[in-house]
Every structure is written in C-alpha cells, then in structure tokens.
Amino acid sequence: MDRIRQLSEVRPALAAAAVFLCAGLSIASMFWLMYLGVALVASWPGWVALMALTSPLVFIGACILVFFRPTLGYGLGGIAAVVALPWFVLSESSGIPSVWTCLNGPDEFGEFARSLAILKILSVALIAAAATCSLLRLLPSGLLVQNSPLSRRTWPAIAVGVLVPALWSHHSAMPWMLPVIVDAIPPELRILHVEKRGLKFRETSFSYLRNGSFSVSGYDRRLFQYRFQSQSRAGSLPKAILERANDLAHSSALRGLRTAPPIALRSWNAEGWYVALRETPLLAFTSEYGTTPPREVREILEQIEKLPGAQRSLAIQDVCLGFCYDPVAGLGFWYSNQRCHTLANGTTQCL
C-alpha cells in the first residue's frame, strides 16, 4: 500500500520533469542550430535573447528540484517558461514571415530553415505545456477532478501544449506563402483553372511576360497531403498567340469586371477559373458562385497547354495539408511581398 502511495507521488514529479527537460533541450537545440547557421539570435533587445538563452538551464534545474524541493522546482519551471516566452513572441511578431511558412516548399530553402522552424514550434508547445504543468502542480491538493487532485494531472498540460500550436498555425500559416521576398517583373496575365473532385484537385496555371515568355504548370494534389508534385513547362509564345494574349490582358471588358473574392473551392465537386491582370483586382469565376469565365479565357488556356517547352518537375509542400493552398497561391502569388488583401468593395487586390 505504501509502495502504491509512493508511486502516486512520484509519477506527477516524473511527468513534470520530463516536460521541463524536453522544453529545455528543445530551446537549447534551437539556439545551437541558429548559431551553426549564423542566424542572428540578438535581432531583438539583448536582454530578451539573453533570457531565452538561459531558460534551458533553469528548466534543467527545475527538472532536478521537483524530486527534492517540489514547490521550488515547479516554481522554477514556471519561471523558465515565462523567461523564455518573450523572445518567441517578439521573434514571431517582428514583421518577418511566420516560421510556419518555412514548412512550405519548394525545397530551395534547404533543411536549415525547416529544421529551425520545427524546433521553434516544438519549443513553443513545450513552453506552454511546462507553464501549465507548473501551475497545476502548485494548485492546492484539495481541488479534485474525479476524486483525484487536479495538481497531479498532466493531461491538461499536454492539451495546452497541443492547443497553442494549433491556434498559432491557424493564425499564421494561412494563406499559403513562402518566407522570402522576390523582386521580379510581374506577368501580364495569369490564369488558373481548378477542378475539384472530392478530396482531389487538378490545377492548371498559365502566365506570360511582356517579352512573350510563358509558363504552364499542372498540379495534382489532395487534401491531407503534405507534399505534391508540380509539372511545369516554359517557352516562348508564337506571335499569333502572343497577340491574342496581349488583347486579353489589356481587354477593357475584362479589366472592368468585378467578382467575388477568389476563395478556395469547398463543395465536394466544383470548378473554378481565376484571372489576374496587372494592377487590377483578381477575378474569380466558380461553380460555387454560379459564374463562368469569358470564352476568351478558356480558349487561350487551351491553346497554351498544347505548346511545347522545357519541362520541369517541382515538389511543393503545404504545412496545412492542402487547406492553406488557395487560388491566390495557385495563381503564383507565393512570396511574402506578394500578399493580397480585400478592398472595401469586396474585391481582392494583390501587390
């Protein structure tokens, strides 16, 4: 009986020590990886970075003390979480794109940014769990849940550790984008055709520049899929098709249209056509809106798809498993300086 009682006392301490240890190791690993990658730890006030750097030591101290001086150990665990948190909040809200976007692809960003993002997200989850665990252990033992002291429970801390990253991702991972800035000449015309059949999407996009060079990309993806392939083809437009594309890109009738925002298709079976012209709001024609694109839009895409060109295959990743990859991204607005916003009249304008 005494042994059972001893185990019931030791288990909460073991669980708290495990959470504190994991939090400390995760933070330390993240800063070590930043050091190896020559990333600037002190991009924010020095005292904030210093506190975050010392928090792993405090977590390890708390991990040991929970077995000998429980109240002090749990208090230190909570202090370590509070000490580490400001750096993570400031680094995420500093104007730099969210770390969640580093988990999107293509792979040109390398493993360093992706590994650092994973460690940062994991650290925030463990900090939240550690803070909750410390608070629970310091509660009076008279607070009961199903005839058991709430102070000995660990599952609420784990639940908070899962909930915080989930809310964070919902806020910061949408819309789909890549955490870089590009300075390139925008295309004269972009067209995206999306066919949705259940969980599967078939996307075909086309864009061309003023000099006549064009690119056609095809995506086959599905919801709950992290990685999917893009097959693209690039070349130069024949003179006749270039003239037709120019007429469409500068068509006063098309530029005068205003449609509902280009949101993702949600019906089980749906079809959408999306058009982006330079310095005009995006246009969306979808079966969900009950609208169809002008005949010229369909015809130009059909002609472009038949043209030869240099082939390229590219792997794309979506940290939201397909739910963040919206038509704006499909049109080619991938980067942090190409964000779109909704105007007062309800239309969508991209930079």
Q: pLDDT at position 40, please? A: 43
H or E stretch at 3: helix 2-36
- What is the distance between the alpha carbons of residues 169 and 103, in angstroms, rounded to a whole number? 11
Separation in Å, CA 278 to CA 91, 190, 209, 240: 34, 9, 11, 21
pTM of the model: 0.83
Instruction: Tell me if 36 sits within 8 A of 100, measured CB to CB.
Output: no
Q: pLDDT at position 47, please? A: 72
Name the one residue in this structure whose structure tokens are 């608070």: 135
- Between residues 161 and 50, the one the model is more confident about: 161
Q: Of 140, 158, 141, 143, give the one whose Cα is nearest residue 18.
A: 158
Instruction: Supply the DSSP string of 17-82, one letter for each residue.
Output: HHHHHHHHHHHHHHHHHHHHTT--TTSS-HHHHHHHHHHHHHHHHHHHHTTTSHHHHHHHHHHHHH
Q: Of 282, 274, 281, give the one whose Cα is nearest residue 191.
A: 274
- What is the distance between the alpha carbons of residues 131 and 123, in angstroms, rounded to a whole number? 12
- What is the distance between the alpha carbons of residues 209 and 207, in angstroms, rounded to a whole number? 7
Segment among 34-48, 69-83, 277-291, 302-316 with least mean pLDDT = 34-48
Q: State the angle between helix axes of 2-36 and 110-137 in degrees (0 to 180), rounded to the nearest 10.
A: 150
187-226, pLDDT tens digit by residue?
889 999 999 999 999 999 999 988 889 999 998 999 999 9
Q: pLDDT at position 345, please? A: 64
pLDDT band, residue 125 (cuts 50/70/90): very high
Tokens of 266: 């949600």
Amino acid letter for position 18: A
- Between residues 108 and 2, the one the model is more confident about: 108
Q: pLDDT at position 42, please? A: 43
For 88, residues 6+ apart whose C-beta sits below 8 A from its C-beta are 52, 120, 123, 124, 127
pLDDT band, residue 7 (cuts 50/70/90): very low
For 336, residues 6+ apart whose C-beta sits below 8 A from its C-beta are 97, 101, 177, 178, 179, 180, 181
The number of beta carbons lying within 10 Å of the beta carbon of residue 166 is: 10
Computed over every residue of the chain, the mean pLDDT equals: 84
Q: pLDDT at position 347, please? A: 67
Q: pLDDT at position 134, please? A: 92
- Whether the pLDDT of residue 37 is over 90: the answer is no
- What is the distance between the alpha carbons of residues 309 and 205, in angstroms, rounded to a whole number? 15
- What is the distance between the alpha carbons of residues 131 and 141, in angstroms, rounded to a whole number? 18
260-271, pLDDT tens digit by residue?
888 889 899 999
Peptide bond into 149 cis (omega under 30): no
85-110, pLDDT tens digit by residue?
988 888 887 666 788 988 998 866 56
Instruction: Kindly give the pairing relationship between strand 144-145 and strand 148-149.
Output: antiparallel
Q: pLDDT at position 154, please? A: 85
- Whether the pLDDT of residue 39 is over 80: the answer is no
For 132, residues 6+ apart whose C-beta sits below 8 A from its C-beta are 156, 157, 160, 161
